[in-house]
Structure 1
């Protein structure tokens, strides 16, 4: 028999509570990752990954991809603005034609930019690793103490809330 006693689809006894817990945990994890992503410059983070043991070629690919993605988005925005100025979006057919031209232009420009990047790196004596000057980060004792205090408070609150009420 498929399903439970209440039919094919029936609610679990603690289903809404578990769903709320899952939603809160995933939201907290996502917000933590977003906070890290929005407050940490990639130019600082990626070279530190090499010191942490991540292979240098992998970090180099990530660094170039990060840089090239913003250049590509800027190029696409400029082409789209130029198409709009030439009335490239007046009808549905013109919009589709403009979209095709936008994709083709972005593809060609990205390959051209990659070739120029390769030539520029070769001219600067690229030997397989991108060297980036990363300033030494000073450790703030006040910030570290406040962070550890907050972490301890959250851990204590979690232990108190996880304890059964009876």
Structure 2
């Protein structure tokens, strides 16, 4: 299981209704996207970060590990904004690129923190069954659940094959490493295909008719949490509005 999934299953917000956490995370995400980057997106991202390491108690190493790949993508996406193409073979500094890069990066980082606030506190098993109640087709949620399950099987297969190759000195040189990677891809494909076929046969034997019956635990919505969420979002909007009026 991934570290962020462990945090979602063991955190103090595990027993909260997913709707509460969705209201908080999506509300902050809306502020980060719709409000000006300063101070709207900055406040939304800061609030999400403080909630993650504070009340939600998500370990900082887990948070940094989950955010490193998206953060790298954000950084590489902002770099082209700093240059301008004068000719097919000539690149130059874009004077207006720094502001555009900072704005884009700020919004993206704030949005990333808001998404992590929901994913690091809410297991997928709590979300998918409730989406059906909201009108999402059952086939969509079941495909998502099976894909989520297959991800863990795929990761286990990658780890097992890699350990077996390392035990046979498959990564001793660059040449053997490339050869091992090729064999690893083939072995993982065969394993994934075999497990998917076994999963399909298991569902058929159990009388699968197009929907999986899943028991959903009833949880009450906390009025205090909802009121605090609305107050936080209103404070961010009000602060951004007042700040924008003062700048004018």
Shorter-chain TM-score: what band? 0.7 to 0.9
Deviation per residue, 1:96-144 (Å, 9 max, x gap): 1111111111011111101110111111111011222121121112212
2:193 is the alignment partner of 1:117? no
Equivalent position of 1:83 in the other structure: 165
Q: Secondary structure of the residue that 1:94 maps to in structure 2?
A: helix
| Equivalent residue in structure 2 for 1:131, among 213, 218, 231 | 213
CA deviation after TM superposition for structure 1 residue 17, in Å: 4.5
- Unpaired runs of 5+ in structure 1? none
**Aligned to 1:11, what secondary structure does the other structure show?**
coil
Q: Secondary structure at the match of 1:127?
A: coil
Q: Offset at 1:40?
A: 1.2
Matched, 1:141 2:223: yes
Find the residue that maps to 2:247 and give its secondary structure. Answer: coil
Select 2:232's aligned residue among 133, 144, 150: 150
State the match for 1:20 in structure 2.
102
Distance (Å, rounded) in 2 between the aligned partners of 1:20 and 1:93:
42
Deviation at 1:42, TM superposition (A): 0.7
Deviations 1:44-75 (A, max 9, x none): 11111111111111111111111101111111
TM-score, L = length of structure 1: 0.86
Aligned counterpart, 1:45: 127
Structure 1 residue matching 2:120: 3-state secondary structure: helix
The answer to which of 98-107 and 156-165 deviates more is 156-165
Q: C-alpha distance in 2, partners of 1:11/1:46?
A: 47
| Structure 1 position 94, deviation (Å) | 1.2
Q: Distance in 1 between matches of 2:192 and 2:138?
A: 24
Query: Following TM superposition, by how much is the alpha carbon of 1:22 offset from its aligned partner in structure 2, in angstroms?
Result: 3.2
Where do 5+ consecutive residues of structure 2 fail to align? Answer: 1-84, 87-91
Q: SS of the counterpart of 1:39?
A: coil
Q: How many residues in Structure 1 have an aligned counterpart in Structure 2?
A: 159
Distance 1:21 1:119, change over 3 A: same
Greater Rg, structure 1 or structure 2? 1
